[in-house]
């Protein structure tokens, strides 16, 4: 026994020694690789010779389904940017569903990144700014980003400050958010219904009733588990029950479940559910895409932008019309809808900002990044119009996620004054209550984790009208309070009051 144990020990040690050797070799190999790569870039830079300094390579991480031709397009982009600003670009795309998690790991492990996509809904901008993932860009903006500050509506930059500093360049796009009721126009016309009087949830009832009677195979009000009825409150954190009432000058934070507006909305939803206007399994339905494909729905709730009806009609293949249920307001989530940040670990922060400046002001670069290589992926028609070529299937990018959309070329069918309309829409937007205030949850993070769990257990059933609010709303409120919602509310109110004092408005 003794001998075998000794042998085992020896075996293990030698294996460990071998392992150490291996890892040493591994890291050496890596270093060699790096130096080789550096030599390469520098030599090619010298060969190019247009720029005095060696071009630096910018690592750009962005969201979207990885496209086959990314490297090919980035080569063309690099050739262009090398002359303009002395930098080349390498883009890494990470798919929608993976972006959050992969970026969290990449930043936490200190990976070599320069520019990265961030937003209120993906790789959370505010939280990661606070965690130290992004470099503050205020000085960089004044020095290298003049083009950006000139083109952007000022609300974008002032609204996306975190603790007084900017950490990301927002894309110039639609600014205010307005919720609308969308209608399947075929069914609307078939029943000779009018949407002119529709605005509140309650005002939908007669229409839903008619559709339910005349089209038994159609879902009158399409609702899935992500649905929340509109109430005139500005939420502190998205899908979290704390909010401030719009127009409340006292800035009092409340639990939305305790507001009369929410109670009424939930009661109406439950009434609709019992009347069979809402899908039976709405509370567990991941998305509405199935029913949108078949066209067997009548109304639903959506977020709009200029010409949204056209976009929806084209993508569904049948006509859609919409009517607003709320005013167009600028929320935190709308100014942070799509941003590019510079990594705190980046070695080329200035170049990264120069690149972002060019991306947001130079139509040649912006359209190359967006649509690919002219003649390969797209062709230009008259004026600012373009048309996709068959190759564009290998380079199909999410336009809104790659910077200023108002210098991109127009698609066939777009009105010539499309971007003018966007600007008008943006200028008309009014700020919502909490625009510019970002709650810092660090002190109450364990309460938030507990409240999240409490909230998730009844959020979708209540919001979709699946359960009776008279019975479940008191239970929900109690559960939230037990989990520590009160403590979060107090902390948030303290922060909000402090913020309000600095705003002096």
Q: Does 137 bind other proteins (CB under 8 A)?
A: no
Q: Which stretch binds other proteins (CB under 8 A): 171-179, 305-313, 388-396, 456-464?
A: 456-464
103: Cβ–Cβ under 8 A, 6 or more apart, which residues? 61, 94, 116, 123
Q: Does 107 bind other proteins (CB under 8 A)?
A: yes
Among 56, 113, 133, 162, the residue binding other proteins under the rule CB under 8 A is 133
CB of 490 to other proteins, least distance (A): 16
Q: Does 381 bind other proteins (CB under 8 A)?
A: no
Among 124, 234, 300, 370, the residue binding other proteins under the rule CB under 8 A is 124
Closer to other proteins by Cβ: residue 408 or 464 = 464
Q: Is the CB of residue 497 less than 8 Å from the CB of residue 251?
A: yes
CB of 460 to other proteins, least distance (A): 5
d(CA 371, CA 369): 6
Among 459, 465, 489, 495, the residue binding other proteins under the rule CB under 8 A is 459
Which SS3 state, helix, strand or coil, does residue 227 take?
coil
Q: At 91, give phi and psi (nearest 5°).
A: -105, 135
Binding marks (x or -) toward other proteins, 294..333, rule CB under 8 A? ----------------------------------------
Binding marks (x or -) toward other proteins, 9..28, rule CB under 8 A? -xxxxxxx-xx--x------
Distance of CA 135 to the CA centre of its chain: 20
Which SS3 state, helix, strand or coil, does residue 242 take?
strand
Q: Does 469 bind other proteins (CB under 8 A)?
A: no
Count Cα atoms within 13 angstroms, Cβ side, for 445: 4
Helical segments of 255-323, H only: 260-274, 289-294, 308-316
Q: Does 452 bind other proteins (CB under 8 A)?
A: yes
Helical segments of 60-201, H only: 70-85, 96-108, 125-131, 138-144, 146-151, 154-159, 185-190
CB of 358 to other proteins, least distance (A): 27
CA dihedral 83, 84, 89, 94 (to 10 degrees): -150
Please give the residues from 423 up to 442 whose contact with other proteins meets the rule CB under 8 A. Answer: 441-442
Q: Does 276 bind other proteins (CB under 8 A)?
A: no
Distances (CA, A) of 398 to 176, 245, 492, 496: 20, 34, 35, 35
Closer to other proteins by Cβ: residue 58 or 467 = 467
Please give the residues from 191 up to 230 whose contact with other proteins meets the rule CB under 8 A. Answer: 225
CB of 56 to other proteins, least distance (A): 19
Q: Is the CB of residue 230 less than 8 Å from the CB of residue 223?
A: no
* Burial (CB count <10 Å: 0-12, 13-18, 19+), residue 54: middle
Q: Which stretch binds other proteins (CB under 8 A): 84-92, 152-160, 190-198, 280-288?
A: 280-288
CB of 110 to other proteins, least distance (A): 3
CB of 61 to other proteins, least distance (A): 15
Please give the residues from 337 up to 356 whose contact with other proteins meets the rule CB under 8 A. Answer: 344-345
Beta strands in 174-229 (DSSP E): 178-184, 219-221
**What is the phi-psi region of residue 170: left when phi exceeds 0, alpha when psi lies from -120 to 50, beta otherwise?**
beta
256: Cβ–Cβ under 8 A, 6 or more apart, which residues? 231, 233, 235, 241, 242, 243, 262
Q: Is the CB of residue 339 less than 8 Å from the CB of residue 160?
A: yes
Q: Does 288 bind other proteins (CB under 8 A)?
A: no
Number of chain positions touching other proteins (CB under 8 A)? 54
Site residues (vs other proteins, CB under 8 A) = 7, 10-16, 18-19, 22, 100, 104, 107-110, 124, 127, 131-133, 225, 237, 240, 280-281, 283-284, 286, 344-345, 441-442, 445-450, 452-454, 456-461, 466-467, 482-484
């Amino acid at each position: 026994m003794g001998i075998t144990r000794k042998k085992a020990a020896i075996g293990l040690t030698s294996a460990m020694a071998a392992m150490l050797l291996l890892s040493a070799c591994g890291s050496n190999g890596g270093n060699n690789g790096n130096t080789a790569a550096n030599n390469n870039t520098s030599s090619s830079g010298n060969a190019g010779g247009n720029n005095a300094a060696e071009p630096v390579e910018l690592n750009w991480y962005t969201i979207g389904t990885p496209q086959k031709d990314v490297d090919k397009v980035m080569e063309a982009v690099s050739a262009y940017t090398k002359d303009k600003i002395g930098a080349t670009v390498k883009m890494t795309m990470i798919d929608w569903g993976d972006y959050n998690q992969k970026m969290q790991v990449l930043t936490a492990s200190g990976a070599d990144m320069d520019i990265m996509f961030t937003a209120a809904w993906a790789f959370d901008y505010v939280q990661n700014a606070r965690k130290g993932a992004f470099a503050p860009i205020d000085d960089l903006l004044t020095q290298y980003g003049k083009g950006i500050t000139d083109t952007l509506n000022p609300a974008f930059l002032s609204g996306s400050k975190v603790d007084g500093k900017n950490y990301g360049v927002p894309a110039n796009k639609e600014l205010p958010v307005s919720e609308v009721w969308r209608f399947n126009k075929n069914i609307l016309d078939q029943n000779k219904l009018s949407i002119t009087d529709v605005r509140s949830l309650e005002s939908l009832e007669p229409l839903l009733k008619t559709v339910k009677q005349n089209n038994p195979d159609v879902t009158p009000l399409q609702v899935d588990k992500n649905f929340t009825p509109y109430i005139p409150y500005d939420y502190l954190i998205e899908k979290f029950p704390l909010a401030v009432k719009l127009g409340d000058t006292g800035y009092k934070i409340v639990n939305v479940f305790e507001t009369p507006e929410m109670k009424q909305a939930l009661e109406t939803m439950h009434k609709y559910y019992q009347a069979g206007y809402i899908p039976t399994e709405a509370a567990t339905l991941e998305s509405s895409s199935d029913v949108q494909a078949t066209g067997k729905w009548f109304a639903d709730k959506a977020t709009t932008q200029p010409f949204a009806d056209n976009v929806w009609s084209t993508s569904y293949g049948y006509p859609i019309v919409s009517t607003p249920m709320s005013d167009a307001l600028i929320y935190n989530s709308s100014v942070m809808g799509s941003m590019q940040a510079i990594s705190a670990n980046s070695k080329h922060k200035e170049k990264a900002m120069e690149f972002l400046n060019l991306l947001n002001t130079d139509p040649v670069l912006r359209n190359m990044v967006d649509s690919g290589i002219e003649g390969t992926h797209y062709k230009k028609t008259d004026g600012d119009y373009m048309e996709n070529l068959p190759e564009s299937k290998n380079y199909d990018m999410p336009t809104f996620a790659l910077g200023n959309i108002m210098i991109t070329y127009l698609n066939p069918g777009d009105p010539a004054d499309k971007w003018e309309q966007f600007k008008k829409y943006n200028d008309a937007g009014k700020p919502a209550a909490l625009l510019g205030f970002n709650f810092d949850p660090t002190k109450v993070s364990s309460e938030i984790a507990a409240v999240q769990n409490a909230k998730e257990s009844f959020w979708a059933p209540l919001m979709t009208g699946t359960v009776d609010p008279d019975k479940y709303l008191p239970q929900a409120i109690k559960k939230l309070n037990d989990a520590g919602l009160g403590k979060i509310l107090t902390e948030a109110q303290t922060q909000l009051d402090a913020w309000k004092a600095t705003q002096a408005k």
